[in-house]
């Protein structure tokens, strides 16, 4: 399907089904903990996080961290900036970092480094989208929604210069 310069890669129905599966898998894996601290990476991870936590059967607390490596361009700048006004409280907590897309790996690596300085009890990563062909740093997610090719994607929280976040599907942005 193509709409206004976009090609749908993952339809809304497929996303909804996979998010439910991820919620069940995470709940099974972490069934023995009292509480999970879910750390949402803003801005792109907000829709995925909201949908995911509704599928968790374990009590959770939601925190936020803001990070960016894109600026106004379609490619990572290679420099990850964290907004420390959103530092999550994770000391001694079981933490699930929820990210929209694992691309170069620089953002997730930088956030994991920061979270580890606060001594969480455990630390796992869940990403909606994984783009392993773009990876420049050796980081892997514990939970992955979909593996995608090295194309620029928008929708379901991901944007291009602030546009297309609201789309219920993931689409590639045609050049």
In angstroms, how far is CA 168 from the centroid of its own chain?
16
- Catalytically annotated residue among 29, 32, 87, 103: 103
103 in active site? yes
How many helices (H) and strands (E) the chain has is answered by: 3, 10
Give every CB contact of residue 63 below 8 A, 6+ residues apart in sequence.
37, 38, 39, 40, 86, 88, 89, 90
List, by residue number, the catalytic residues. 103
């Amino acid at each position: 399907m193509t709409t206004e310069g976009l090609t749908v890669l993952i339809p809304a129905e497929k996303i909804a089904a996979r998010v439910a599966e991820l919620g069940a898998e995470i709940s099974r894996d972490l069934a023995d903990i009292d509480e999970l601290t879910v750390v949402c990476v803003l801005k792109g991870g907000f829709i995925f996080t909201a949908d995911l936590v509704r599928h968790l059967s374990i009590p959770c607390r939601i925190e936020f961290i803001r990070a960016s490596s894109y600026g106004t361009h379609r490619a990572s700048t290679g420099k990850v900036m964290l907004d420390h006004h959103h530092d999550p409280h994770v000391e001694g907590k079981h933490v699930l970092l929820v990210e929209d897309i694992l691309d170069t790996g620089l953002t997730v690596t930088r956030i994991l480094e920061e979270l580890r300085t606060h001594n969480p009890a455990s630390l796992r990563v869940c990403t909606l989208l994984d783009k392993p062909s773009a990876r420049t740093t050796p980081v892997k997610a514990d939970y992955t929604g979909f593996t995608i090719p090295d194309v620029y994607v928008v929708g379901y929280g991901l944007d291009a210069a602030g546009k297309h976040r609201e789309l219920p599907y993931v689409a590639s942005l045609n050049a």
